Structure 1
Amino acid sequence: MRSGENSVRPLLALLMLSVLLTGLVAGCGGGDQSGNGGEEKQQAGKDAEQGGGASKVEESDKKIALGTIQTVEEDKRKISVKLAAEVRGKKQLAFKVNKRTDITFGGEKAEIGDITEGQQAKIEYVDRDKGPGRAVNVELFEVQRREPSEEGEKTN
């Protein structure tokens, strides 16, 4: 009888191990999502309070605007951009710049106070149904002024 009892133990141990591993994988939720799930819920709650009602699909649906900074309202954390090309019939867009917005100027980290009117900008943003879009990344460029070329000045 001892030999029959010994053959069941490894099978029972294997069954217990597989149940524990299945529970571990299911509890983690696939890995990537487990670390920031609470943050996403908090952000969704804040957006709902503000009337944004953002969903995960909208968060991943980022758009890009290219143009010239028209206005900077540092106290309201808002900027407006005159677009290089018309977008949905608009020539100018407004953006909310929150504390999580990445701002760079010439490849180096910058702040909203470093943004000035007339600068060229590339803005990655999330569009909102109402109000300004939310800027995710603001990349500022120095304005390159062209001097007339010698070929353009010559007359025959």
Structure 2
Amino acid sequence: MSALNSLTSTQKSQLRNAFTIIDGDSRDSKITKKDLVALYKTLGLTTPTDAQLNTMLDGEEGINFTQYSNIMAKQLSKFDGRETIQNALKVFADESKDLKDPDFNVEITKLKEAVCSVQLGEIGTGDNRLGRKTFDELVDGFVRDEIDGRKVFMASKWLAAYIE
């Protein structure tokens, strides 16, 4: 069975939406170097080198939706999925809560410090950490104020919204 056939209809729809966003303003139904550079800039990340961009595009001038879907399906098949992400988030969960409870929250400052300090990409390619502003945008709508003044990330609600 091909990796693409292992995707759910929701995942396929999400891939289509992501492809449309990455395709950017050109709307030429291909992801090109120009599209990728624009995406990295929008996310506040260091733009990959020309060689890295060529690798992302499998040496092509651009990739269409079918090629993109196949690449992403292969990458997604490498993840253990929701449980792995959930377990990673639980490392930051409120220690007074039962970690078996599917509805859990994470103190946002601890999570933000950890996530924004991790180097993304290859070592030696520059500072590719997730920016704090970008982090805030990614968790927007999933943070609430507690009575004691702390801010918590509603991890279980985020997982339900974004991770199949």
Q: Indicate the structure whose relative CO is greater, using CA pairs within 8 Å and at least 6 residues apart.
A: 2
- What is the TM-score normalised by the length of structure 1? 0.24
Higher strand share: 1
**Structure 1 or 2: more helix by fraction:** 2
